[in-house]
């Protein structure tokens, strides 16, 4: 009896189209995985010594496509639901009937919790997550697990990719290098966020880098600009340059090599000592940094900086534009962290501000407030019902 699926080495296709006909929802089709791998490994390049890991692997289709692509020595799926894991095991049995495919790449599945330290990510070249249904806390736990495990996997010349659907995970040592729109889950097009470990020279640039920034980096000028911005005699010009450079994710990572920079930014937004200009420029730097996981992580870990931001939104005399900026920063931080230490104060302050119609004098402030409350309720599991009307 012929197996239900015919296996081929790359370019694969016909075998998988049979499987795609019977896919249930919440599965990434093989064609999307192959398109993704062609982007990550262009011109037929491969890393046959590495592994492809699918977290939340379901029925195993992405792992099957990766195994047959010829780019990995191992394709591994991790699934916590026994029902889906059992389906994937059946798929593995069919795969094992083809000796050529089996010899080229080992296909394996594990019924396990990916947030636990089980060694599943060792040797990973590409980690894939169909994270559409993952909640906030699970995404945070996964991000920390991936970040921790892959930090030990860095070797010279290696590229490590993490690809997630619908949202970025908190991965401070990764750059966002591409955003793709591909079919997934039987429901049309989804956003695939491609993150790369920032440890080697590569044709992949951070998506936040303009052509000018890429040219500056290629000529080793970024470090000099950051040093000029940090030490400029005119604080206004220095902060302005820091804000402009912070649009680049790798530059913000460079900022984190200078611990005194956060102390300087904290001083610049001091509610009692800083001038309006200083607070405006300091908040612009922090707002730009908070667009990136590495910046969000650094700000969220600084208790004194969080306290200054909280004081800024708590003070009725503060300029509305500054309060909006501070709230924007909080809403970005809440993308990766529940900010547990200040959650009570933050909730009380935002709810009080929401009830104070006289304070909500601008659309920017109302929108920033609504987004911050939405993110806090997201962590608490509540639905958002906030009116933007005064």
Residue-by-residue DSSP string for 15-82:
HHHHHHTTPPSS---HHHHHHHHHHHSGGG---TTSEEEEET-TTSHHHHHHHHTTS-SEEEEEES-H
Whether 354 and 346 have beta carbons less than 8 Å apart is answered as no
Are 258 and 233 part of one and the same domain?
yes
- Checking 217-221 for CB contacts under 8 A at 24+ apart, the result is 217/250
| Residue 2: inside a domain | no
Number of folded domains in the chain? 2
pLDDT score recorded for residue 231: 85
What's the order of all strands across the beta sheet hosting 161-165? 106-111, 74-79, 51-55, 124-129, 161-165, 189-197, 174-183
Are 244 and 353 part of one and the same domain?
yes
| Residue 306: inside a domain | yes
Are 191 and 274 part of one and the same domain?
no
Are 175 and 317 part of one and the same domain?
no
| Residue 8: inside a domain | no
Q: What is the CATH number of the domain that holds 168?
A: 3.40.50.150
Per residue of the chain (390 residues), give pLDDT as tens. 333 333 333 333 334 443 443 444 568 889 999 999 999 888 665 556 689 999 999 889 999 999 988 889 899 999 999 998 998 998 888 887 776 666 788 999 999 998 887 788 888 889 999 988 888 888 899 999 998 888 765 554 568 899 999 888 999 989 999 999 999 987 789 999 999 986 555 556 888 888 888 888 888 898 899 889 988 889 899 999 999 999 999 999 889 888 889 999 999 999 889 999 999 999 999 999 999 999 999 999 999 999 999 999 998 889 999 999 999 999 999 999 999 999 999 999 999 999 887 778 888 899 999 999 999 888 877 544 444 433
| Residue 388: inside a domain | no
């Amino acid at each position: 009896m012929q197996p239900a699926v015919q296996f081929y080495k790359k370019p694969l296709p016909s075998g998988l189209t049979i499987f795609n006909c019977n896919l249930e929802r919440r599965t990434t089709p093989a064609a999307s995985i192959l398109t993704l791998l062609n982007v990550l490994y262009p011109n037929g390049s491969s890393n046959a010594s590495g592994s492809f890991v699918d977290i939340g692997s379901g029925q195993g289709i992405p792992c099957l496509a990766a195994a047959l692509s010829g780019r990995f020595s191992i394709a591994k799926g991790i699934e916590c639901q026994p029902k889906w894991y059992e389906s994937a095991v059946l798929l593995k049995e069919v795969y094992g009937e083809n000796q050529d495919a089996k010899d080229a790449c080992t296909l394996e599945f594990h019924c396990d919790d990916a947030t636990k330290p089980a060694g599943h990510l060792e040797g990973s070249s590409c980690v894939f997550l169909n994270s559409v249904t993952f909640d906030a806390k699970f995404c945070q736990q996964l991000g920390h697990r991936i970040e921790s495990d892959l930090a030990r996997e860095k070797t010279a010349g290696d590229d490590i990719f993490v690809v997630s659907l619908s949202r970025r995970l908190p991965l401070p040592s990764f750059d966002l290098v591409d955003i793709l729109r591909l079919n997934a889950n039987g429901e049309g097009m989804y956003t695939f966020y491609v993150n790369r470990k920032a440890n080697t020279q590569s044709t992949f640039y951070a998506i936040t880098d303009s052509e000018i920034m890429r040219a500056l980096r290629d000529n080793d000028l970024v470090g000099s600009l950051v040093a000029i911005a940090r030490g400029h005699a005119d604080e206004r010009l220095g902060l302005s340059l820091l804000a402009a450079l912070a649009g680049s994710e790798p530059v913000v990572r460079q900022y984190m090599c200078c611990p005194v920079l956060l102390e300087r930014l904290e001083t610049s937004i001091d509610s009692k000592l800083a001038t309006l200009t200083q607070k405006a420029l300091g908040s612009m730097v922090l707002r730009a940094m908070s667009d990136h996981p590495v910046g969000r992580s650094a700000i969220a870990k600084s208790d004194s900086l969080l306290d200054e931001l909280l004081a800024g939104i708590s003070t009725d005399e503060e300029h509305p534009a500054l309060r909006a900026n501070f709230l924007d920063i909080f809403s970005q931080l809440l993308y990766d962290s529940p900010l547990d230490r200040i959650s009570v104060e933050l909730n009380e302050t935002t709810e009080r501000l929401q009830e104070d119609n006289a304070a909500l004098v601008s659309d920017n402030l109302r929108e920033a407030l609504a987004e911050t409350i939405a993110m806090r309720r997201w962590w608490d599991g509540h639905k958002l019902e906030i009116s933007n009307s005064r």
